[in-house]
Amino acid sequence: MRQMKKPMSVLNGKLYFPGQYLIYGLFLLMMVSCNAQQNISQGNVFPAREPLPQEGIYYHLPLTVINVEVTARQTTEKRGPYYRYSQRFLNLNDIITEDRTTWEIVDARIYTTGIPDPNRIFRITAQGNPSLAAVALTPDGILRGINIDEPRQNGVQPPKQFMGAMPENDLSFDDVPFTEEQLIKTSSAATAEEVAAEIYRLRDARRRLLESDLETLPPDNGAYERILNGINELENQYLSLFKGKKETFTVTKVFSIIPDTSMSGNQVLFRFSERKGFTDQLDLTGTPVYIEIESVSPIANRSLNLPDKQEQRTGLVYCKPSKAHIKIIDRTVLLTETDVLIGQFGSLHQLPPTLFDDPSITLKLDTRTGALLNIKTQRIDF
């Protein structure tokens, strides 16, 4: 049998098989495709300035806001109409002898929130499908993270001011059930004596009810309890005519301050009066309550030199906050103190620009300080 010869060609004195061109072509095509695939998915971050162009993704780093939630209690006391006869008819010493209203601070709490820093805004540009294309922002534009699915939280928590339970009625004695014998008395001393006698009768009735035989009690167990409660309520109403009445309720306010490196010493946070409660900053009847901000770690240089043009790749910018010790002082009394992290006292840093070319990278930032919380790789199913 004749053996078939493979076709070949001669070029520059060398033998070439026609299939070699196809192999070389496919190899070159694969190399070009790989290079194109490597360059097609990438993202960059650049500093931005107002006014912002319409195109692009923008995010802010936050300014840390220190919030102080202060709770004060108001106590209102009203003397009874027969307080002068308390010792004489009932042997009472612990009574209210004058009408007055007093305030006192009962609690203080420090926490931080974040607001957008207008001087730290950045623009994200992306090609293909990098992680930087999946940006998570707060409603006011603070960067929460990259490629995350966590529920959105507001970057700004507006200060809340609320009051506790207000007294249902004023401190009057109109609800006391005076009897006819008490009302026909012509002097306050005689009326007070008649009311005191009624208090003793109520106490005697309660004693006899408690000492009575079980067979003589009301058949309904609930009725027995209601009788005792009714006697106690009447006694307290009559006693208030001698001892007086007291009502308390609470008011909570939040005071916010944006710390700055130029601050020195104590700053007046608000003013407080034992007679008026929270007062205006200009009302000198209230004594000042101070906030003291002391940097625990050195205040860093927050600047970061980034190229304005897109000729050089740059990565995501985050903040390394600095720690500060916060004290709230009412004259010489320390109300509360704690350590907090402050973004504007810290320094700016940059992640590698190629980190987020991988679409599986996730990142989370603290919306109060701009600090880097974590970087993870998530599984992507194709």
Got the DSSP string for 270-329? EEEETTTEEE-TT-TTSEEEEEEEEESSPPP-------SSTTS----EEEEEEEEEEEEE
User: Using CB atoms within 10 A of its CB, is residue 10 exposed (0-12), middle (13-18) or buried (19+)?
Assistant: exposed
- Residue 325 near residue 266, CB atoms below 8 Å: no
**What SS3 class is residue 28?**
helix
Please give, one letter per residue, the 3-state secondary structure of 208-245: HHHHCCHHHCCCCHHHHHHHHHHHHHHHHHHHHHHHCE
Q: Are strands 317-330 and 245-257 parallel, antiparallel or unpaired?
A: unpaired
**Containing H/E element for 62?**
strand 57-78
Mind listing the pLDDT tens digit for each residue in 297-349?
A: 777 665 666 655 556 777 889 999 999 999 999 988 999 999 999 999 998 99
pLDDT digits (tens, 9 = 90+) for 213-223: 656 666 666 77
The whole-angstrom separation of Cα 319 and Cα 365 is 9
Across all residues in the chain, what is the average pLDDT?
80
From CA 278, how far away is CA 251, in angstroms rounded?
Answer: 9
Q: Which residues contact 32 (CB under 8 A, 6 or more apart)?
A: none
- The rounded distance, in Å, linking the Cα atoms of 196 and 347 is 74
For the entire predicted model, the pTM comes to: 0.75
Query: Given a cut of 90, is residue 273 above it in pLDDT?
Result: yes
* Spatial separation of the C-alpha atoms in residues 233 and 223, rounded to whole Å: 15
Q: How far apart are CA 249 and CA 167, in angstroms?
A: 7
User: What is the longest distance spanned by two Cα atoms in the chain?
Assistant: 150
Q: For residue 31, how far is the Cα from the chain centroid?
A: 55
**Domain residue spans in the chain?**
9-34, 54-79+97-168+247-377, 180-245
The pLDDT tens digits of the residues spanning 36-53 come to 444 455 667 777 877 777
Query: Between residues 98 and 7, which one has the greater pLDDT?
Result: 98
Which region among 123-127, 187-191, 364-368 has the lowest average model confidence (pLDDT)?
A: 123-127
Lowest mean pLDDT among 73-82, 350-359, 362-371: 350-359
The Cα-based distances of 66 to 61, 156, 264, 345 in angstroms read: 16, 12, 16, 13
* pLDDT for res 270: 94
Length of the chain: 382
Say which amino acid occupies 131: S
Q: Say whether 170 sits in a helix, a strand or coil.
A: coil
Report the amino acid identity of residue 117.
D
